[in-house]
Structure 1
C-alpha cells in the first residue's frame, strides 16, 4: 500500500461529458473500499460536469475532483490524474464506461501478486449497454504472465486490446518513472508508458472481462479515421526495440493503403473527401496511388454501406462490432446521409 494509504486509484479524465460521467461514478462508487479512491481530472469543462461530480462526492467521499483551468488533452489529463493519485496502483478509466459487478474487489485480489502492470479483459457493449457486441477482447482466457524478456509476446498478444485505456492497471511508480509527454496527443498515453521499453517487473494478463466498454461514444470518435489509420500505426511502429514482424502483426505501417480498408471505412462513415484532403493527399505522389483513395472518398457512402451490410449479414454475422458501426453509420440505408 502507498504511504498515503491507498492501494488502488481509479483515474478518470473528462471534459464536457456530464451526461455520461454521473452514471459511471455512481456505479464505480458503489464498489469503492477504504483503500481505493477515484481521481477525476476535469479538463476545463464548460457544461455542468462539476455539479454532477460534486453530487457523487457527497455519496462517495473517496471521489476526488480536480478541475483544471485549461484543457491539456485526453493524454495530458490522464497523466495529471495519475500524478495526483494516492494509490500504489492506478487504473485509468474512460468517463463513460462501467465496471462489472465486483470488479474492484477482483482487481485488488489480483494485485496481491504485485505485478508491474495488470491487464484485464473488457466486454464491448452498445452505447446504451443493452447489447454485448464483443464478449471479450483478449485472445485468451485464464491468466498469463510476461517477464522483461517476453516483451514481443506481450506486444503481439495484448497490443490490440490495449488500445483501450481501461484494460491496464499500472503501478504508479512505474508510470511516473517513464517518459509521458512524447505520447501527449496520441490518444494512447498508457500504451506508450507500457511499451516504450521493457518493464522491470511482471505483467499479469487476465482473460476475464472486468470493464463494460460503451462503444461509439469515445471523445475522439469523430476523429476515428485519423486515429486508426495514422496515429495508432505511427505509435506502434515507433517502438524500434520490438521487431518489425511483431509490429506488423498488430497493424500495418500504413493501413489506409488497403483498398478494402478504405471501402469499409467509407461504408462506416469514417472516410470522406474531408479525410482524404486532410490526411491522405499530403502523403501521396502522383499516379494510381493518388487517385484510388480519392475515388473511394467520392464513392456514394450509402451504396457502400448497403453492400457492406449485405456481406456482413451473409458472411460475417459474428462480427457484431463491425455490423454495429455499419448500422450506426450516417450512410445507413434507413438513415439520412450527412453529406
Structure 2
C-alpha cells in the first residue's frame, strides 16, 4: 500500500480540538486511495486525543501520532513528514478548510517532476462567514519556476509562503535538506524551500485551494516578534536572492516598520516590553524616539485612529480592520466607525 501512495497530507496540531474537526471533515470527503492523512499532536492538553481516536476508528486512512511532549510547530511538521509514506507531503494546517474538489486539482499536478507545488488560498473570517481577501498570492494564472526564476519566485510567492498550508513538497526533497537549524523559527518550510540548492522545478496553482481562518493563529499575541523580528531575519538570511526580491517580501524600511507598529499598538501587541526587547537595541536615536512615541499612545486611542485610516482605504484594508475591531482594544468609537463604513 505504501508504494502506491502519491500524497500524504501532514497536519501538526496543538490544542485545536475545537477547530480540527472541520478541517478533517473538509479533507476526508475528498480522499482517494492514493492519499493518506497524518496528524501529529504535540501533546495537546485539551481533548484532541479523544477527537483523533474517534476519527482513526472510523477512517483507516487517518494516522494519528501523539507525542510525549510538545516539540514546537517546526519539529512536529518535520516529524509528520518523517512518518509519511507518500511521494509528496502537503503541510496542511489544523484549523483551515480545504475547498471542495481541491484535492483532484492537486493530484493532477503531482506528476513526479515538480519538487514543490505551492497552492493558493482565500482568507476568511474566523467563522468563514465573510471572505476578507480572495487570494493570498496575487497571481491570476498557474506559474512555473526554475533556478533562473529564483528572484521572481521570491518576489511573487515569498509572502504567501508565510502560510505553511500552501506547501506541497516531495518527501525525499524535504528529508534531504537541512531542517534542524530552522526549529524554533516557526517557518521551517521556508528554510527548507529557500536554502541552496534551488529546487529544480516549482509549480504555483493560482486558484485558491484553502480557506484560511484569519485571526485564529495561536501566535497572534506574539505578532510583533514574529513579523518584525523572526520573519525578516529568516528572509534576509537567504544570500542567493536579490535585495530587491527580499524587500518585496519583507521591507526593511523603518517608515514601513513605523506603520506596522501603529497597527500592533492598536491591537495590543506592541507594549513597552516589546519596545525595550526588540526595537530599542538596534534603532538609532531618531527612530528609537519615533518607536517610543507610538508605544506611549493609549492603545484604545490608537485603535480608533487606525480604524479610521483603514476604513478610508477599505478595499485594501479588510484584514487589518477585522483585526482591529476584534482586538481587546476595540471600543465604541472604533466599532461605530466600522459600522458607518459598512464593515
Shorter-chain TM range is over 0.9
CA distance in 2 between partners of 1:30 and 1:114 (Å): 27
CA distance in 1 between partners of 2:49 and 2:27 (Å): 17
Q: Could you list the per-position Cα deviations for residues 8-57 of structure 1 after superposition, in whole angstroms to 9, with x for gaps in the alignment?
A: 00100011211111221122111111110111111111111110011112
Instruction: Structure 1 unaligned segments of length 5 or more: list them.
Output: none
8 Å CA contact 1:266, 1:296 repeated in 2: yes
CA distance in 1 between partners of 2:38 and 2:180 (Å): 20
Partner of 2:291: 293
Q: Could you list the per-position Cα deviations for residues 258-277 of structure 1 after superposition, in whole angstroms to 9, with x for gaps in the alignment?
A: 32222122123221223213
Aligned pairs, how many?
334
1:255 Cα offset (Å): 5.4
Correspondence list, 1:297-312, <5 A: 297-312=295-310
Over aligned residues, Cα RMSD in angstroms? 1.9
1:279 Cα offset (Å): 1.9
Matched, 1:115 2:114: yes
TM-score, with length taken from structure 2: 0.92
Aligned in 2, Cα 1:256/1:180: closer, same or farther, shift over 3 Å? farther
Q: Could you list the per-position Cα deviations for residues 80-132 of structure 1 after superposition, in whole angstroms to 9, with x for gaps in the alignment?
A: 00111110000001110110001111110111363110111100110111111
Instruction: Structure 2 unaligned segments of length 5 or more: list them.
Output: 335-343
Partner of 2:204: 205
Partner of 1:321: 319
CA distance in 2 between partners of 1:267 and 1:119 (Å): 33
Partner of 1:148: 147
8 Å CA contact 1:229, 1:255 repeated in 2: no
1:326 Cα offset (Å): 1.2
TM-score, with length taken from structure 1: 0.93
CA distance in 2 between partners of 1:254 and 1:232 (Å): 15
Aligned in 2, Cα 1:256/1:53: closer, same or farther, shift over 3 Å? farther
CA distance in 1 between partners of 2:18 and 2:64 (Å): 17
CA distance in 2 between partners of 1:99 and 1:180 (Å): 26
Partner of 1:39: 38
